[in-house]
Amino acid sequence: MNALKEYIVSFFSGLGSLLTGMGVTIRVFFRKKTTEQYPENRETLQMFDRFRGELTLIHNDRNEHHCIACGICQMNCPNGSIRVISQTLTDEEGKKKRVLDQYIYDIGSCLYCQLCVRSCPHDAITFDTQFEHAVFTRSKLVRQLNHPGSTLEVKPKPVAPKPVVPKAESPKVEKPQGEAPEAAQAE
Ligand code: SF4
Ligand code: SF4
């Protein structure tokens, strides 16, 4: 009798857990799908903004960047993934100026720590959301980030504000002492 009782209890216990599992399966089946069909969706795939894909030197539409070749990012990189190669040019006034020659980035050794981006005083670099980095040789992971022919963006010098000339005050007319007010004169 006990054996039959145990059989019935375990039968309904198993049936209950089966129905619970089927309930979860049915709920998930009708839920909105979040699975990305990569690479079929490559054209429409949107990465979230905070994703750190690949270090980029920011260029504007005139092929100008903000990098002054100070090398701070290189000094702060813990894995030696950045090499800033500069050259010294002499301008028309005879002043020597250091300019960026090559900005070399090795994505193969990058830790994606973003210390370089945070330490750059000119906001010249950032991480984009590009994530397809697969190549057949490691040498292809070393890239030059400054575009060919790019130059440092020259910001217009601030114009000095015009000096404010104070307006000449009209001279005060002093009333003669001891004169009776007009109202009193009328009386
Ligand atoms: S993210 Fe980190 S490891 Fe990568 S280049 Fe920048 S500082 Fe170096
Ligand atoms: S990217 Fe920024 S920190 Fe690095 S060399 Fe250029 S200006 Fe300096």
CB 153 less than 6 A from any atom of ligand 2 = no
Question: Which is nearest to 145 in space by CA: 69, 38, 46?
Answer: 69
Provide the pLDDT for residue 158. 76
Residue with more model confidence, 100 or 160:
100
**Could you give the domains of the chain?**
54-152 (3.30.70.3270)
For ligand 1, the distance from its centroid to the CA atom of residue 103, given in whole angstroms, is 13
Query: Residue 179 is encoded by which pair of tokens?
Result: 């004169």
The answer to whether residues 133 and 107 touch, using CB atoms and an 8 Å cutoff, is yes
pLDDT digits (tens, 9 = 90+) for 34-91: 888 899 998 888 888 899 999 999 999 999 999 999 999 999 999 999 999 999 998 8
Which of 58, 64, 67, 155 gets mutated to test ligand 2 (max ligand atoms within 8 A of its CB)? Answer: 67
In the chain, % of residues over pLDDT 90? 67
| Residue 85 CB burial class (10 angstroms; 0-12, 13-18, ≥19) | middle
Which whole number is the average pLDDT over 143-171?
A: 82
Q: Per-residue DSSP letters for 97-120?
A: EEEEEEEEEEGGG-----HHHHH-
95 to each of 92, 98, 147, 152, how far by Cα in Å?
A: 7, 10, 25, 16
Q: List CB contacts of 54: < 8 A, sequence separation 6 or more.
A: 107, 127, 128, 130, 131, 133
β-bridge partners, 69 = none
For ligand 2, the distance from its centroid to the CA atom of residue 66, given in whole angstroms, is 8
Between 1-15, 68-82, 139-153, 167-181, the lowest mean confidence (pLDDT) is in 167-181
| pLDDT exceeds 80 at position 165 | no
Which whole number is the average pLDDT over 153-180?
A: 69
Q: How far is CA 121 from the centre of its chain?
A: 13
The answer to whether residues 144 and 103 touch, using CB atoms and an 8 Å cutoff, is yes
Rg (CA), the chain: 37
36 to each of 45, 47, 50, 83, 103, how far by Cα in Å?
A: 8, 11, 18, 36, 34
pTM reported for the whole predicted model: 0.70
β-bridge partners, 65 = 152
| pLDDT exceeds 90 at position 2 | no
Provide the pLDDT for residue 164. 76
pLDDT digits (tens, 9 = 90+) for 85-123: 999 998 888 889 899 999 999 999 999 999 999 999 999
